[in-house]
Chains A and B, each alone.
Chain A
């Protein structure tokens, strides 16, 4: 093995990440274990968080604001948006701080640093699983059965994971040098929620605006998720294509940016 200064474009070294998959597993396991320790309600939070938000949405958007969605009860509509949204939002929130919170590892032991944000986003998977269970229960209560398309849910979650990771790679690398990121993230996530069709539907919006909205990768994933769970109309192929393309570009760019910044992590963190 040769240790030498690296210059220019970094190599992603994905093979190394796969060699360190056990560490990845243990970091996910640690974050999952620790998340609800010393909380009174514990894992119940994974149910309460989407449930309370949907309650608030239903009161303000549906009852007060008069927003309705054709063909599906508003509660089901917003809850089915909330599950992938929380995966994305919690992933970005936790993972963009992850390099800084794991600074004790970064300065003391070698491993591919990309493992850190990946593990942070993945550690939200149990919450997603619980959320899916909750959604199925609420659907049953409304007498709605999932369609066969539910089999596509794992694939859609991969897309959500990819977009959460893409954003996190940029922010987590940036936050090592600029702690401002800590203050930017909550604001960013809030605005992003409003820009994503979680509480409202964009089925009536057409033309150019549809393409612009599709630049937000959550537009595509939310539409797909509702198609898979509730049997709503799938978003047009163009929307899906744009969402996927944006995700891939930010993900690959983020990975290279992260790898390039990584050289300085141990020195400036």
Chain B
């Protein structure tokens, strides 16, 4: 371990036996399993054998004091598992990690918040759960309340808070945690934009105080502005360990390679999977292959379902994301408009856009399918598409300015006679 390193991982591996991840096993299953084993010995009944899943294999890395490190990778690459091991929530199956210094982890906003308790009480409870001493919380109480902008509701039970207020309060407590090493998992993805900006500001302040931060996020823009070093995990192993820009572009290339694979075969998905996405197609006007700015575009999603999943309402939600990982716009079939209609084709969602307001460039779409009140399927980078140069309401759009969206507008210019 070099003198300045505060985290050192040596060949860390973590295995999940898929069966054990299912919650709420009952004694009956265990008894049935024992019987099944017995029968199998007689060669009569064979149980389906599931291979173990290696969430991490042989991960070695060294984090120096004051490093601001981003862990990036697709769903299921092992980012969260690695954080959980470093945070001592779960044990590695093999290998070891050495940590020097007080470590705080923020894997979720508002861990342990209780709806029946007031804002004030939750600050104390949450602070204690995150590892703050009571005296520390008392000392920073006013700062926390200021940051959360919820002083008027301090003595109101949390269940009367809006979700935005709850998130603000939770982040405020977490932001005042002062460990030497901080592990953060995707917590900036919540809350309204103004508050998100405030949080990012706080995070970079933390980063400049010389503390060590390990950060997991899907938001490449935030990661690039906060972190100096990036580690790309792929299928549980370190694929790239490089300066942040290099790691991010490796990640974006990897996401794009995935999009080329058959959607139905992809493993980097989450959800209940009673219904799943099998195809995404983006068409331009008149069936042209590439959509263009200002012209009509059509997004088509095909889904398949498990036997028995019938007569259930399904909805589709997709987000257009730019190449830096910034979401540009979200479309949801749940938010009904007057012009929406039911499909004649089984298993197809079609979303028509009359005049595509995107500047020329490359975009990806992340898709979620919901059904029976569950998230059924979610795939990041389900497809990539290029937007060609075009004309919006008679005005050519070049796409060399800032931003991703073009808005129909009209100028009145001064005459300088």
Which residues of chain A have a CB within 8 Å of any CB of chain B? 1-6, 22-23, 25-26, 29-30, 33-34, 37-38, 104-111, 177-180, 263-264, 266-269
Q: How far is the CA of A29 from the CA of B88 in the complex (A)?
A: 25
Are B30 and A108 in touch, CB under 8 angstroms? Answer: no
Are A23 and B129 in touch, CB under 8 angstroms? Answer: yes
Chain A hits for B94, CB < 8 A? 5
Are A1 and B98 in touch, CB under 8 angstroms? Answer: yes
Chain A nearest CB: distance from B166 CB in Å?
14
Per a CB cutoff under 8 Å, which of A4, A109, A177, A269 touches B92? A4
Are A3 and B85 in touch, CB under 8 angstroms? Answer: yes
Chain B hits for A177, CB < 8 A? 25
Is residue B107 within 8 Å, beta carbon to beta carbon, of the partner chain?
yes
Q: How far is the CA of A263 from the CA of B85 in the complex (A)?
A: 11
Is residue B27 within 8 Å, beta carbon to beta carbon, of the partner chain?
yes
Per a CB cutoff under 8 Å, which of A4, A105, A180, A264 touches B27? A180
Chain A hits for B96, CB < 8 A? 2-5
Are B30 and A178 in touch, CB under 8 angstroms? Answer: yes
Chain B hits for A22, CB < 8 A? 128, 133-134
Are A180 and B26 in touch, CB under 8 angstroms? Answer: yes
CB closest chain-A residue, reference B90: A266
Q: Pick out which of these stretches binds chain A: B112-120, B211-219, B268-276, B293-301.
A: B112-120
Per a CB cutoff under 8 Å, which of B16, B100, B131 touches A267? B16
Chain B hits for A108, CB < 8 A? 89, 105, 107-108, 111
Chain B hits for A6, CB < 8 A? 91
Q: How far is the CA of A188 from the CA of B28 in the complex (A)?
A: 19
Q: How far is the CA of A266 from the CA of B116 in the complex (A)?
A: 25
Are B116 and A3 in touch, CB under 8 angstroms? Answer: no
Chain A hits for B131, CB < 8 A? 23, 109, 111
Chain A hits for B85, CB < 8 A? 3
Chain B hits for A178, CB < 8 A? 25-27, 30
Chain A hits for B129, CB < 8 A? 23, 26, 105, 109, 111
Q: Which of A25, A107, A263, A269 has the most CB of B within 10 A?
A: A107
Chain A hits for B105, CB < 8 A? 108-110
What are 29 contact pairs spanning A and B, CB under 8 A? A1-B99, A1-B100, A2-B96, A2-B99, A3-B91, A3-B99, A4-B96, A5-B91, A5-B92, A5-B93, A5-B94, A5-B96, A30-B121, A34-B116, A108-B89, A108-B107, A109-B87, A109-B107, A110-B89, A111-B129, A111-B131, A177-B25, A178-B25, A178-B27, A179-B24, A180-B26, A266-B84, A266-B89, A268-B23
Per a CB cutoff under 8 Å, which of A1, A2, A109, A268 touches B21? A268
Is residue B95 within 8 Å, beta carbon to beta carbon, of the partner chain?
yes
Chain A hits for B90, CB < 8 A? 266-267
Chain B nearest CB: distance from A131 CB in Å?
24
Is residue B86 within 8 Å, beta carbon to beta carbon, of the partner chain?
yes
Chain B hits for A33, CB < 8 A? 116-117, 121
- Known contacts A4-B96, A5-B92, A30-B117, then 17 further A-B pairs from the complex at CB < 8 Å, ordered by chain A residue: A1-B99, A3-B96, A4-B97, A6-B91, A22-B128, A22-B134, A30-B121, A33-B116, A33-B117, A33-B121, A108-B108, A109-B107, A109-B112, A109-B129, A110-B87, A178-B26, A268-B21
Chain B hits for A269, CB < 8 A? 23
Q: How large is the interface on B (under 10, 10 to 19, 20 to 34, 35 or more residues)?
A: 35 or more
Chain B hits for A104, CB < 8 A? 108, 111-112
Are A34 and B89 in touch, CB under 8 angstroms? Answer: no
Q: How far is the CA of A264 from the CA of B15 in the complex (A)?
A: 12
Chain B hits for A30, CB < 8 A? 114, 117, 121, 125
CB closest chain-A residue, reference B101: A1
Chain A hits for B24, CB < 8 A? 179
Are A4 and B20 in touch, CB under 8 angstroms? Answer: no
Q: How far is the CA of A3 from the CA of B89 in the complex (A)?
A: 11
Is residue B363 within 8 Å, beta carbon to beta carbon, of the partner chain?
no
Chain A hits for B100, CB < 8 A? 1
Chain A nearest CB: distance from B40 CB in Å?
22
Chain A hits for B103, CB < 8 A? 1
Q: How far is the CA of A55 from the CA of B238 in the complex (A)?
A: 68
Q: How far is the CA of A105 from the CA of B93 in the complex (A)?
A: 22
Are B108 and A179 in touch, CB under 8 angstroms? Answer: no
**Per-position binary interface string of chain B over residues 11-43, scored 1 when its CB falls under 8 Å from any chain A CB and 0 otherwise:** 000001000110111111010000000000000
CB closest chain-A residue, reference B103: A1
Chain B nearest CB: distance from A261 CB in Å?
12
Q: How far is the CA of A104 from the CA of B110 in the complex (A)?
A: 10
Is residue B124 within 8 Å, beta carbon to beta carbon, of the partner chain?
yes
CB-CB under 8 A for A23 and B88, given A34-B117, A179-B26, A180-B27: no
Is residue B130 within 8 Å, beta carbon to beta carbon, of the partner chain?
yes
Per a CB cutoff under 8 Å, which of A34, A38, A268 touches B20? A268
Chain B nearest CB: distance from A238 CB in Å?
36
CB-CB under 8 A for A3 and B114, given A22-B128, A22-B133, A26-B124: no
CB-CB under 8 A for A267 and B20, given A2-B98, A34-B116, A180-B27: yes
Are A26 and B125 in touch, CB under 8 angstroms? Answer: yes
Are B86 and A3 in touch, CB under 8 angstroms? Answer: yes
Q: How far is the CA of A177 from the CA of B20 in the complex (A)?
A: 9
Q: How far is the CA of A110 from the CA of B28 in the complex (A)?
A: 31
Chain A hits for B117, CB < 8 A? 30, 33-34
CB closest chain-B residue, reference A34: B116
CB closest chain-A residue, reference B113: A104
Chain A hits for B124, CB < 8 A? 26
Q: How far is the CA of A30 from the CA of B128 in the complex (A)?
A: 11
Q: How far is the CA of A4 from the CA of B14 in the complex (A)?
A: 11
Are A264 and B133 in touch, CB under 8 angstroms? Answer: no
Q: Nearest 9 pairs between A and B by C-beta?
A: A4-B96, A26-B128, A110-B88, A3-B97, A266-B90, A37-B116, A180-B27, A108-B111, A179-B24
